[in-house]
């Protein structure tokens, strides 16, 4: 790994200003690795204030444990795929990518999985409902009676409802025959139409494709790893029939010819690391190893055995993490001021007092008026 340049004086809140400054200095993409999703969300809000002109893309981690039996949240997967697809397009404004340790340590589908994997629709254009249904189902969408969540679609006569990846609201297509008469967003709760659209681009909504080639690749990979007897597993049966199965994402490498990492999507990038990323990474790698060992144990009576992928198929190890971070400039943020003689640069920020409920965290307690405490702090600053 490239030795990181320590950036002192980079507390939460001030880090957004430092990223904005870095964006002005560096011609390539800016990638910041947060400790967790909460830190990433707060930083995204700060950047919206500091750099309203920037395109801030978030790439969150799956919201389930390694080797889980459940699938990640569809809305979260939608955001991940929207970011990966956007990274394949040339930016039209300053771009900053925010991710987390857990997201970056996990491999992602290759760029080829999303390059050209879209269906573009427009008003007065044509689309055959059966071909649209075939496209969306092979790219992760599921048929529903009423569209409520990302990744769902419904066809009722000449009306097609669909909740595409990366969209805030579902979209309704009104057809006359095969001609698209209108495209509108709608409220999934009230089902009332809202904003008119002229175009709509449908992208994959799952990291697991279910086209014929991907299914065949999965079947071969599954048998090679786990043996012919494992063909009785419910996941194997579901995928073989072209049906989705809860938790199938944890075998996503079997559906693709290769896997990549997030930084492979970028030709040039400057990466910065949140404070305590090293500790979070170590804990995550230990968790992955622990869950793998527990999952490959003998199944209890009556329980379908869990057949975990070798961890290296889905996750980076420490050496691969270091290699991934070696291809460009690397910064490491610290909230503390620069000690005398310490290497690195001074960011100029300092942690402020935390005004917790009932008083200041540095000594306030029940009965303390937080506004009096705040006024006193402001007077000292002035």
pLDDT at 57 > cutoff 90: yes
pLDDT at 371 > cutoff 50: yes
Token representation of residue 116: 């050209």
For residues 64 and 249, what is the distance between their CA atoms, to the nearest angstrom? 11
Q: Tokens 């920037």 map to which residue? A: 54
Query: What is the set of domains in the chain, with CATH numbers?
Result: 5-113+246-333 (3.40.50.11180), 119-202 (3.30.2060.10), 352-381 (no CATH)
Can you give the pLDDT at residue 166?
A: 77
Give the tens place of pLDDT for each residue, 127-143: 999 999 988 888 888 89
pLDDT at 365 > cutoff 60: no
Can you give the pLDDT at residue 217?
A: 97
Rg (CA), the chain: 24
Decide if 5 contacts 344 (C-beta within 8 A). yes
Q: Tokens 């801030």 map to which residue? A: 56
| Strand segments (E) across the chain | 5-8, 29-34, 55-59, 95-100, 119-122, 142-143, 152-156, 159-162, 171-176, 179-186, 193-197, 199-202, 269-273, 330-333, 345-346, 355-356, 359-360
Can you give the pLDDT at residue 6?
A: 93
User: Please, which pLDDT band fits residue 358 given cuts at 50, 70 and 90?
Assistant: very low
User: Please, which pLDDT band fits residue 117 given cuts at 50, 70 and 90?
Assistant: confident
Can you give the pLDDT at residue 299?
A: 65
Which whole number is the average pLDDT over 163-172?
A: 88
Instruction: Say what percent of the chain tops pLDDT 90.
Output: 65
For residues 170 and 150, what is the distance between their CA atoms, to the nearest angstrom? 7
Can you give the pLDDT at residue 360?
A: 47
Give the tens place of pLDDT for each residue, 72-106: 998 899 899 989 999 998 888 899 999 999 999 99
Give the tens place of pLDDT for each residue, 291-336: 999 998 766 666 778 999 999 999 999 999 999 999 888 999 999 9
Q: Tokens 């012919």 map to which residue? A: 228
For residues 270 and 92, what is the distance between their CA atoms, to the nearest angstrom? 18
User: Please, which pLDDT band fits residue 359 given cuts at 50, 70 and 90?
Assistant: very low
Q: What pTM was estimated for this model as a whole?
A: 0.85
If you average pLDDT over every residue of the chain, what do you get?
A: 89
Give the tens place of pLDDT for each residue, 35-55: 999 999 999 999 999 999 999
Write a three-state SS string for 210-249. CCHHHHHHHHHHHHHHHCHHHHHCHHHHHHHCCCCCCCHH
Can you give the pLDDT at residue 238?
A: 96
Decide if 231 contacts 222 (C-beta within 8 A). yes
Query: Which residues have CB under 8 Å from 292's CB, separation 6+?
Result: 66, 67, 308, 310, 311
pLDDT at 13 > cutoff 60: yes
Can you give the pLDDT at residue 302?
A: 66
For residues 153 and 99, what is the distance between their CA atoms, to the nearest angstrom? 29
pLDDT at 174 > cutoff 60: yes
pLDDT at 361 > cutoff 70: no
Residue of 308 and 211 predicted with greater confidence: 308
Instruction: Say what percent of the chain tops pLDDT 70.
Output: 90
């Amino acid at each position: 790994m490239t030795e990181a340049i320590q950036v002192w004086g980079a507390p939460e809140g001030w880090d957004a200003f430092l990223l904005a400054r870095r964006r002005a200095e560096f011609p390539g993409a800016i990638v910041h690795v947060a400790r967790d999703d909460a830190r990433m969300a707060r930083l995204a809000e700060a950047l919206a204030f500091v750099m309203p002109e920037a395109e801030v893309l978030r790439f969150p981690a799956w919201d389930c444990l390694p080797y889980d039996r459940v699938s990640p949240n569809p809305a979260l997967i939608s955001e991940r795929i929207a970011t990966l697809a956007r990274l394949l397009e040339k930016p039209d404004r300053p771009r900053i990518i925010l991710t987390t340790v857990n997201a970056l340590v996990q491999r992602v589908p290759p760029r080829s999985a999303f390059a050209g994997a879209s269906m573009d629709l427009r008003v007065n254009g044509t689309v055959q409902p059966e071909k649209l249904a075939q496209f969306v189902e092979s790219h992760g969408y599921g048929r529903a009676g009423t569209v409520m969540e990302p990744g769902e679609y419904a066809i009722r006569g000449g009306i097609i409802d669909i909740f595409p990846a990366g969209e805030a609201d579902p979209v309704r297509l009104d057809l006359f025959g095969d001609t698209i008469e209108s495209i509108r967003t709608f409220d999934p709760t009230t089902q009332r139409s809202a904003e008119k659209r002229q175009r709509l681009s449908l992208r994959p909504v799952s990291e697991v494709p279910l086209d014929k080639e991907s299914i065949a690749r999965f079947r071969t990979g599954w048998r090679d790893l786990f043996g012919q007897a494992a063909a009785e597993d419910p996941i194997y049966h579901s995928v073989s029939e072209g049906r989705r199965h809860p938790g199938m994402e944890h075998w996503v490498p079997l559906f693709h010819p290769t896997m990549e990492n997030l930084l492979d999507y970028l030709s040039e990038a400057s990466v910065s690391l949140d404070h305590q990323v090293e500790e979070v990474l170590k804990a995550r790698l230990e968790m992955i190893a622990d869950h793998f060992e527990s999952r490959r144990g003998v199944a209890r009576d009556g329980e379908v055995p869990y057949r975990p992928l070798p961890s290296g198929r889905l996750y980076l190890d420490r050496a691969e993490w270091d290699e991934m971070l070696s291809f460009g400039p690397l910064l490491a943020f610290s909230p503390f001021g620069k000690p005398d003689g310490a290497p690195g640069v001074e960011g100029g920020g300092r942690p402020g007092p935390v005004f917790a409920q009932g008083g200041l965290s540095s000594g306030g307690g029940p009965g303390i008026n937080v506004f009096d405490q705040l006024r006193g702090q402001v007077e000292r600053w002035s």
